[in-house]
Amino acid sequence: MRTGRFERSLAVLTAGGAIVTTVEIFFEHDRASFGNNWMWAPVILGPVGAVAGIAGFASHRAAKTFLPLASATIVANGLQGLWLHGRGIKQKPGGWKNFRYNMEMGPPLMAPLLVTLVGGMGLLAAVLRREK
């Protein structure tokens, strides 16, 4: 961290995390037939995060402008997903009273936090100093 290389490394990790997460989200949301149009948001934002991470690795300017903007949008979408998944569990038969069953059979409540984590890595990369 003292040399400033961590910013570039974290930007690349953000890109890689965005790609892997997007693939997983696509398959899970496809399994649910994209029943809610908001299911497309993380699938669309994932490649944007990947491009922003690669751009942040290659360019100091992109690391301080494009990467934090894309990452903040991804964090917001992850928090929105947490709310939507919670609402989906509530709408299942028995709702929160049937917690264990609905957590296993309903939308995965903690999965959107993975998206939030990827966005958070991008935000952290944006605030770190870059090597000279």
In this structure, is residue 132 part of a structural domain? no
Rounded CA separation 45/49 (Å): 6
Nearest to 10 by CA among 125, 89, 131: 125
Our count of domains for the chain comes to: 1
What's the number of CA atoms in the CB half-sphere (13 Å) around residue 5?
Answer: 1
Q: What is the dihedral of CA 76, 23, 26, 118, to 10 degrees?
A: -10
Predicted TM-score (pTM) of the model is 0.92
For residue 65, the model assigns a pLDDT of: 97
Instruction: Please indicate, yes or no, if residue 46 is contained in any of the structural domains.
Output: yes
Instruction: Name the stretches of the chain with pLDDT < 50.
Output: none
Q: What is the pLDDT of residue 123?
A: 97
Confidence (pLDDT) at 132: 65
Domain that holds residue 87: 5-127
**Residues with Cβ < 8 Å from 54, sequence gap 6 or more?**
11, 12, 15
Q: Is residue 54 part of a domain?
A: yes
Alpha-carbon distance of 9 to 104, in angstroms, equals: 35
pLDDT value at residue 1: 53
